[in-house]
Chains A and B, each alone.
Chain A
C-alpha cells in the first residue's frame, strides 16, 4: 500500500467536474484507491463518494492505493490534484 497527503489548491476545490476527472482517472487503474479527509474515506472510483468529501480549496486529503499498479495510480492522482485538475 502506498499513500500520500496532498493539498487541494484549485480555486473551486473538489467540485463536480474536478471530481469526475479524478474518478475517471482512478478508474483506469486496477488498484483499490481511496481519497480521504479527516472524517470521511471515499473510494476514489466513486463519484458520489468523492463529492461527499466536499473538499474545498486548501483542504488536505490523503490518497491511498493498494494493488498491482499502486505506485503509478498514486502518482497520476497526485499529479492531477497538484496541477489543479487542469483549471485556473
Chain B
C-alpha cells in the first residue's frame, strides 16, 4: 500500500563531521581548514595509486582519497616540480579530502597545494588497511539512506517482523501481546528504516523510542512497564506481515508455497498477508510466521514438503 510515497533521504556529511564521526580512524587535520565544509556523500574510499603517476582517468572526486606508503615513497623520488605536476590535477578537482595514513610526513608540496585549493588534508596514525576499513564502515553507517514507514517492528524469536496495515487494525495490541510473551518491541507506529548494503535496519525515532499508543489508554512507556528486556534499539527487518481485515481478502493464500516479497528502498523482504478476524490470535500467528521463516532458512519448507507428499500419494492411488 502506498509504495509511491516512499520518501528516501540520502544523507551527506561535511569533512568536519567526518573527522569526528569516524573516530576509530583517529583522523587529524594537517591543512586546508577552509575546505572543511566540503561534502562527502559516498561511503567508498579510493587509494590514489596510479593516479599520482599520471593516470587520473579513474579518479572519483566525491570519494575520500587515501595516500599510503607506496604513494609517499613514489612522490619522495620526484623533484619538487614533478611533485606539483603529479599532485596539482588531483587538488584542482575539488576532491572532498585527502587522508595520509600511517602518520607519514606529508610532502611540503602537498601541504602547499592543500592550502592553495582549500582541500582538507588529513592524517591518520593507523595503517592503510585499517583506515580503509574504519572509514568505509563509519561512512556506511552515517551515509546510509533512510526512510520512514508506518507500522510496528517487533523482534520475535530474533526475527525482525514488520507489521503493516491500516490504522486500528490492531498492530499495537498485537505487539503488546508479543511483549507479554517476552518478545521485544523496536518501534510502534513509525519506524525509521535505513539501508546498509542490502539489509534494512529499523529503529524508533528518538522521540517515540520505547513508547506505544493503545486505544483508550493513550501513550504508554514500555521500558518502565515491562523492563528494559522488552525493548530493542534496532533490528534487521526479516519479514513483513500485512494485517488486513478478513472481509477484504478476495483470495487468501491457503497453501503457502508461493514466496511473496515486498520492496523497501529496493531491498526485497519476504512478506505475508494475514487476515485479521475474531478468533484469530495474531500474536500466536506471528510467532508461527517467525518460526516458519527460521525453518525456511534452514532449508525446511513445510508447505512444499506437504504438497510433494500429497502428489506422491496421488500417484500411488492410480
CB distance from B247 to the nearest CB of A (A): 14
Known: A39-B9, A40-B148, A42-B150. A52 touches B208 (CB 8 A): yes
A51 with B208: CB separation less than 8 A: yes
Q: Is B305 close to A, CB under 8 A? A: no
Set A27, A40, A47, A48: member contacting B7, Cβ < 8 A: A40
- Identity of the chain A residue whose Cβ is nearest the Cβ of B1 in the assembled complex: A32
- Identity of the chain B residue whose Cβ is nearest the Cβ of A44 in the assembled complex: B167
A42 with B219: CB separation less than 8 A: no
A49 with B189: CB separation less than 8 A: yes
CB distance from B257 to the nearest CB of A (A): 31
- Identity of the chain A residue whose Cβ is nearest the Cβ of B6 in the assembled complex: A41
Q: Is A46 close to B, CB under 8 A? A: yes
Residues of A within 8 A of B189 (CB): 43, 46-49, 52
- Identity of the chain A residue whose Cβ is nearest the Cβ of B7 in the assembled complex: A41
B207 with A49: CB separation less than 8 A: no
Residues of A within 8 A of B207 (CB): 51-52, 54
Q: Is A73 close to B, CB under 8 A? A: no
CB distance from A14 to the nearest CB of B (A): 12
Q: Is A10 close to B, CB under 8 A? A: no
Number of B interface residues in the complex (CB < 8 A) = 20
Residues of B within 8 A of A54 (CB): 207
Known: A27-B168, A54-B207. A46 touches B7 (CB 8 A): no
Known: A48-B211, A49-B190. A43 touches B5 (CB 8 A): no
B213 with A48: CB separation less than 8 A: yes
Residues of B within 8 A of A64 (CB): 5
Q: Is B2 close to A, CB under 8 A? A: yes
Residues of B within 8 A of A27 (CB): 167-168
Q: Is B205 close to A, CB under 8 A? A: yes
Known: A47-B213, A49-B190. A66 touches B167 (CB 8 A): no
B190 with A66: CB separation less than 8 A: no
A46 with B150: CB separation less than 8 A: yes
Which residues B142-164 have CB closer than 8 A to chain A?
Answer: 148, 150
Instruction: Report the Cα distance A34→B7, complex, angstroms.
Output: 12
B148 with A45: CB separation less than 8 A: no
Instruction: Report the Cα distance A34→B167, complex, angstroms.
Output: 11
A43 with B7: CB separation less than 8 A: no
Set B1, B9, B166, B190: member contacting A42, Cβ < 8 A: B190
A48 with B188: CB separation less than 8 A: yes
Residues of B within 8 A of A45 (CB): 166-168
B219 with A47: CB separation less than 8 A: yes
A48 with B208: CB separation less than 8 A: yes
A43 with B150: CB separation less than 8 A: yes
Q: Which residues of A contact B (CB under 8 A)?
A: 27, 32, 34, 36, 39-43, 45-49, 51-52, 54, 64, 66
- Additional A-B contacts beyond A45-B166, A48-B190, A48-B213 (15; CB < 8 A): A32-B1, A36-B7, A39-B9, A39-B148, A41-B5, A41-B148, A42-B190, A43-B189, A46-B150, A46-B189, A46-B213, A48-B189, A48-B212, A49-B189, A52-B208
